[in-house]
Amino acid sequence: MPAHRSPATSRRRFLRTAALGAAAVPWSTRLRAQGANSDVRVAVIGTGGQGSGHVGRLLKETKGCRFVAACDADYNASERNRAVAAELGLNAQTYIDYRKLLENKDIDAVIIATPNHLHSLIGIAALQAGKHVYVEKPVSHNIWEGRQLAIAAAKYPNLIAMHGMQRRSSAGWAEVAEFLKDPNGPLGKLVLSRGLCYKKRDNIGKVDGPQPVPPGVDYNLWSGPREMLPILRKRFHYDWHWQWPYGNGDIGNQGPHQLDVARWVIGDPAELPSEVLCVGGRFGYEDDATTANTQIAFFNYDPVPVIFEVRGLPEKAMDFKLGTPKFRVGASGIDVGNILHFEGGTIAENVAYDTEGKRVRKFEEMGGGSHQQNFIDAIKAGKLLSEGHSALTGHHAASLAHMANISYRLGKESTPAEVADKLKGRAAALETFERMQQHLGDNGLDAATLKPVWGAALSFDPKAELFTGDLAEPANALVRETYREEFSIKV
């Protein structure tokens, strides 16, 4: 499908060509035929990898709901998910334009799994259209629009607005949160909350010029609030994660899951931290990505600070056939997860250890596979099952990633010795940086000659959600992005 074809034209083409035996049956009739009237009728907007997973769970696992529509700016993606439903004997409508879907009064709720730059925009529009909303992480592409989503959620209290960070539905982390409420716990005082995202991310390649819009993609709708920029990456889908106009790097991709837990265990602060600093770089290869593949972010929560680590290179030798590095605690090796440091021990994911590495307690599973079910159950209950599921919680977790990235983007290349010198007196921060350097060395990179970016040390006003100090102007320019009028956010 040519990129300039209108959604209406695309829909007519779909009706002519798709093998839909029920295509001529009125939409409302098909809805009534699919299940009990009490079922929540759910549409998925953004039906690529993550969105397809949501469709699968709606069709096979989640109770009390019906999958009734798929929407994607890529016609091929929505058609694939319609076909999956059809194999189960269900009819699902397809859309290219999310705005047309939101006009359908027979849809109760939407799950949004588009690229990041569309999350808040569509979430707010869905609430305004009277739909319950589940927004995948990160709930925003920048700090300002995440706050707008939280404002919209408060404005429509009769609608459920929920984020997609499954660990908030984890029995294990809920158990840890209760464990931490005991001031006389066996591990003593919590002194540091750490999140990890150690995931291999190979280079995305380099193109020699702008690439064509893939067949079936409406590039205007895909771009949404962003200008229709030249496509400068080989793989159109997914690799947008590593380019600033659309993605937020792995600290904003995987990161919100662990950033949220890191906040949760220090008491779910009502505001963002007052200071942020990020160190890192894109090491080991040159490609068309612009985000860091190696990052350390320091957040000045008082009294318990948060450190977050991103490692995109493999365990060693730049060999992506190997595994990822691990953070070793006791008998555990953690690559993606959370580690809590106490005066008298450590909790690494669901295992607590004393200072000698002896296991002292094991908690429940740390997943959160019931999260989508909790969304449906919340709709039926008329309220969130936990305040930790709220759009505000999603905003805070996403904003930590945004704060770190703003520090990084305003930083300057430094020598490792300069970075180490600046971290003197901050034992945990220095130890973390030294491990980062060791990991780069393990991959055959001369860590001594690499130039990590020493991010801007930024002060932040948590109430105004704006940066202050000498670099306030360039930092605040990244708090809120520009929006094309057709896709502006108005709450």
DSSP-assigned states of every residue in 367-415: --TTHHHHHHHHHHHTS-S-GGGBHHHHHHHHHHHHHHHHHHHT-EE--
The pLDDT > 70 percentage for the chain reads 92
pLDDT in tens, 64-96: 999 999 999 999 999 999 999 999 989 999 999
Contact between 416 and 448 under an 8 Å Cβ cutoff? The reply is yes
**Pairing mode, if any, of strands 332-334 and 294-299?**
unpaired
- Average pLDDT over all residues of the chain: 91
C-alpha–C-alpha distance, residues 470 and 458, integer Å: 9
CB 313 within 8 A of CB 294: yes
Q: Is it the case that residue 451 has pLDDT exceeding 50?
A: yes
- Kindly tell me if the per-residue pLDDT of 29 is higher than 70: no
Report the C-alpha gap between 239 and 284 in whole angstroms.
Answer: 17
Q: Could you give the CA distance from residue 434 to residue 427 in angstroms, rounded to a whole number?
A: 11
Closest CA to 433 of 340, 309, 327, 336: 309
Instruction: Give residue 146's pLDDT.
Output: 98
The answer to whether 347 and 339 are in contact (CB under 8 A) is yes
> Per CATH, which fold does 169-377+390-487 belong to?
Dihydrodipicolinate Reductase; domain 2 (3.30.360)
pLDDT given at position 13:
38
Reported confidence tier of residue 37, pLDDT bands at 50, 70, 90:
low
Q: How far apart are CA 119 and CA 165, in angstroms?
A: 14
Task: Count the neighbouring beta carbons within 10 Å of the beta carbon of residue 25.
Answer: 12
Whole-model pTM: value is: 0.91
Domains 7-168 and 169-377+390-487 share a fold: no
CA atoms within 13 A on the CB side of 152: 30
How many C-beta atoms surround the C-beta of residue 431 within 10 A?
12
Give the integer Cα–Cα distance in Å for 160 and 135: 11
**DSSP strand pairing (332-334 vs 466-468):** unpaired
Q: Is the pLDDT of residue 144 over 70?
A: yes
Structure token digits, residue 226? 């962003």
Give me the mean pLDDT over the 345-355 stretch: 94
Q: What is the CATH number of domain 7-168?
A: 3.40.50.720
Instruction: Give how far Cα 299 sits from Cα of 62, 379, 471, 472, Å.
Output: 37, 34, 17, 17
Domain regions of the chain by residue span: 7-168, 169-377+390-487
